[in-house]
Amino acid sequence: MTTQDIRWKQRFDNLTRAFARLREAMAAIAQEPKNHLYQIALIGAFQFTFELSWKTMKDYLVYSGVDVSLPREVIKQAFHHQLIHEGQVWIDMLEDRNLMAHVYQEFAAVEAGKNILQHYIPAMEKMAKDFLEKRSK
């Protein structure tokens, strides 16, 4: 096993744990959709799950011989190499993540929460499922 082989698998293990926290935030907000603390928790859990998602993709691409480093570049290469199937959704995730990391505006947070629940989590879950299959090989 190479260092890159181990790295993407370790990162994926961390991603799996992050998904558990994201699902907890989803469950909480489903119970109380107008709770601002739950909205913030959902956004925070999304942010670190997204970070681990693109870094897992990066590590896997490097392991596969593709030299990438920046998130947008990783997303484009992951789409090209069919690690993800909804490239534009991932670019949207990156842009929303960047926006949420620098500014908190309640309206933007509510809209981001909708995107997270409706579009981003399903795309991240699909990617994680595909990586789980790669991990078990």
Looking at residues 52-71, what average pLDDT do you find? 96
- Please, which pLDDT band fits residue 64 given cuts at 50, 70 and 90? very high
Q: Identify the CA nearest to 94 among candidates 50, 127, 42.
A: 50
CA distances from 54 to 26, 110, 117 (A): 21, 23, 18
User: Could you tell me the residue ranges of all domains in the chain?
Assistant: 3-135
CATH number, span 3-135: 1.20.120.330
Distance of CA 1 to the CA centre of its chain: 26
Cβ atoms of 38 and 29 within 8 Å: the answer is yes
Q: How far apart are the first and last CA of the chain?
A: 13
Q: Is the pLDDT of residue 135 over 90?
A: no
CB 56 within 8 A of CB 15: yes
pLDDT in tens, 120-129: 999 999 999 9
What's the whole-number average pLDDT of the chain?
A: 91
